[in-house]
Structure 1
Amino acid sequence: MDKVTRFFWFCSGAHVDTLKKYPIEHNKYVGIGATIFFTALFASLSGGYAMYFVFNGDAFAVGFAILFGLLWGTAIFNMDRYIVSSINKEGSTNQQILQASPRILLAIMIGIVISRPLELKIFDKEIRQKLKTAYLKGQHSKIDTLQKTYNQKYTMELGKTSDLKKEKDSLEKDINRSRVQLNEEVFGEKNNQTSGIVGYGTYAKQKQGILQEKEARLKTVTDNADKMDQYLARRKEFEGVNDLRLFTDHQLDSLAKIAGFADRNWALGQLTYNENGTRDLDTYLAISFIGYLFILFECLPVFVKLMSPKGPYDVAMAKTYEANIHFAERDKERDISVIDEVYRDHVDEDVRRRRNTLANRTDHDKERHRYD
């Protein structure tokens, strides 16, 4: 337990040797350190899970996720440790709050960042279902758009094909009626369309000729319609209309499984809305609660440090800080005096050297004058 306690003291950013002198502060900094440690742990899991989706399908996806998770957790741990340890308890409450405001905002951002990947994992089943629905709607829309473009591009050909089919249907009905009339004429059935004379006479031959003309026209229309159908089929193949199909359930499952982080994040946001566009309050509160929980968890060490009264450890650290500043200033002044003394010695030595040089030159001039 001593090792665990000292580890959490280290996590809190406290000066362990000073903190050991004040047992009344031990539990507070154990709690702060534990909160920072578990926040970093959750950050590692969150970052690793997010990175796993980035490299999903890669052979080294798990290795990348573990490596990034450790790096991300270490970064969050170091940042939280610095945020808590840098709060000064010497100022007033307002000063402390003002001092901690940027750190609280940073803690909120960190809480949002580390909570999102975990929210994606918690609502994984609902996200997959939303993605499958979205992919199916997208495929429907893509097919409709391509079909609409095809229809606009080949409006004339489609119109001609439609007219040929209408004419074909009309000719087939007319030919059936003409055949009935021919049979009635041959068998001598009397009505307003026949003569009532039995046998293959003049009227029967006329009706036979009209029937043959209609059949010839039907063959021509049918051939033309078939050619247009073949042409449009080739155009559909060229435009890619025939290549698009609705996704099967197996395909939808595969697409949802390999969906990237952006798609899953979008789907999570869409879970908070109903089909009619109204807010789904239950899902919204559930997702928001998780995010608020991590934000609170991230800000908790800062709040604990702000709410806790100034203790003996804070007083001791303030005195140590002031003493270190005093010693630093004293050392600075001492270093300056030493530099000044060295400089003066250097100047004095230089002056003496110049005087000796000048004296030597004077003696040399006297000797040369006496010689002259």
Structure 2
Amino acid sequence: MMKQITNFFWFCSGVHQETLEKYPAEHNKYVGIGATIFFTALFATLSGGYAMYFVFSGGKLAILYSLLFGLIWGLAIFNMDRYIVSSINKNNSGWKQFLQATPRILLAILIGIVISRPLELKIFDKEIREQLKVTYLDRQRANIDTLNIAFNNKYGIELGKLNELKAERDSVESTIKSDRLKLNLETFGDKTPETSGIIGYGPYAKRRQADLDEQEQYLDTLRATIQRQEAFIQQRKQFDGLLDEKLLTGTQLDSVVNVAGFANRNEALGDLKYNADGSENTTNYWAITFIMLLFIFFECLPVFVKLMSARDAYDIDIQHIQSVDAHRSIKNRDAEIEIIDGVHDTRVQSGIEKSKEEYLKPY
């Protein structure tokens, strides 16, 4: 079992296994390099699949698409890591090795950012859900405020008239209340600058009662006018859609958050870096940043491990094998050229002799 695991990690590291088996002291080193490449690809698979799950969330084939894309993405990262790590020539100088690995390091930074984002969304899932609720409610309030402002501008005259009617109603109600108090004082004979001080329902009381009845009739007419005006405003609100805009309840918010897409969750994660007043939330900011840096480092780790490893017996043997193969290839090529040249000379010589025979042939 351990032998199979070792061979698998050797395969991941891209080594020539028959050559490596000659040097037991280097076995663990290349197991570590292969394991690093494997787990980097594994994280890439999980991250890519999780990201695609949100892209196709709600669809019947969301899980299938996420698994398929995650597998393809992980294999692509695995193949690239394996090729670049195995192609770094430890027999070159350190500077040449670094230049050889520079494109991979730059690409690893980009890949690390891409890989880390979906996993950050999962790590901060609870905080993101709460932030999404706040964001959705703020957007609803802003939308309702915008509609109200537009409605007030459109029906400014009608709303102004309604406010005037309500102000007049309040004034009439206040006057009626005051006059009713004066009528009571007049009836009970309380002497004031505005009452006669005579007990009973006399002429002064009757006159005040008549004025009070007229004011109450006018108040009833005023209230009916206000009701008609309010009904008109309500109809206009219904027509313009203001009454359809209502803040979501807790259950509705949970349902909306559950179907939130990748872009909304990504935006919410970015909002977690800042407080409500716009100031930086240092705790969340550095937590998210360090997670991203960790995945960038983890993505660069296969190349760093290869660059940090010293030149060993395996590298020397590989260089020797490559030199022998190159020498053999050159030798075979030269032999093939000699054979081709010999055939060509034979054909040329045969052609010359044939020409001489034709020349000397009697007519």
SS at 1:242 equivalent: coil
Structure-1 residue corresponding to 2:245: 244
Structure-1 residue corresponding to 2:274: 273
Residue 296 of structure 1: how far off its partner (Å): 2.2
SS at 2:277 equivalent: coil
CA distance in 1 between counterparts of 2:238 and 2:338 reads 92
CA distance in 2 between counterparts of 1:86 and 1:171 reads 94
Unaligned runs of 5+ in 2: none
Residue 12 of structure 1: how far off its partner (Å): 0.3
Mapped pair 1:324 → 2:325: yes
- Over aligned residues, Cα RMSD in angstroms? 3.1
- C-alpha change, 1:305 and 1:172, in structure 2 (3 Å) is same
Residue identity in the other structure for 2:155:
Y
* CA deviation string 1:49-88 (max 9, x = no partner): 1111122222222222222221111111111101201111
- C-alpha change, 1:205 and 1:357, in structure 2 (3 Å) is farther
Structure-2 residue corresponding to 1:39: 40
CA distance in 2 between counterparts of 1:195 and 1:354 reads 161
- C-alpha change, 1:202 and 1:346, in structure 2 (3 Å) is farther
SS at 2:22 equivalent: coil
Structure-2 residue corresponding to 1:282: 283
Residue 336 of structure 1: how far off its partner (Å): 5.0
SS at 1:247 equivalent: coil
Structure-1 residue corresponding to 2:151: 150
CA distance in 2 between counterparts of 1:237 and 1:174 reads 35
Aligned length: 362
Could you tell which deviates more after superposition, 114-123 or 275-284?
275-284
CA distance in 2 between counterparts of 1:347 and 1:217 reads 131
Residue 164 of structure 1: how far off its partner (Å): 0.3
Residue 286 of structure 1: how far off its partner (Å): 2.8
Mapped pair 1:122 → 2:123: yes
* CA deviation string 1:90-138 (max 9, x = no partner): 2211221222122112222222222221221122112112222222222
Structure-2 residue corresponding to 1:107: 108
Residue identity in the other structure for 1:291:
M
* CA deviation string 1:147-184 (max 9, x = no partner): 22222222111111000011111112223334444565
CA distance in 2 between counterparts of 1:253 and 1:55 reads 19
Could you tell which deviates more after superposition, 156-165 or 107-116?
107-116
CA distance in 1 between counterparts of 2:310 and 2:141 reads 63
* CA deviation string 1:279-318 (max 9, x = no partner): 3333333333332322222222211211222122222222
Mapped pair 1:65 → 2:39: no
Residue identity in the other structure for 1:260:
G
Which is greater in Rg?
1
- C-alpha change, 1:181 and 1:355, in structure 2 (3 Å) is farther
Residue 325 of structure 1: how far off its partner (Å): 3.4
CA distance in 2 between counterparts of 1:351 and 1:169 reads 130
- Counting aligned pairs with the same residue, the percent is 54
Residue identity in the other structure for 2:221:
T
- C-alpha change, 1:142 and 1:349, in structure 2 (3 Å) is farther
- C-alpha change, 1:165 and 1:344, in structure 2 (3 Å) is farther
Structure-2 residue corresponding to 1:367: none
TM-score for both structures, normalised by structure 1: 0.85
Structure-1 residue corresponding to 2:222: 221
Could you tell which deviates more after superposition, 137-146 or 30-39?
137-146
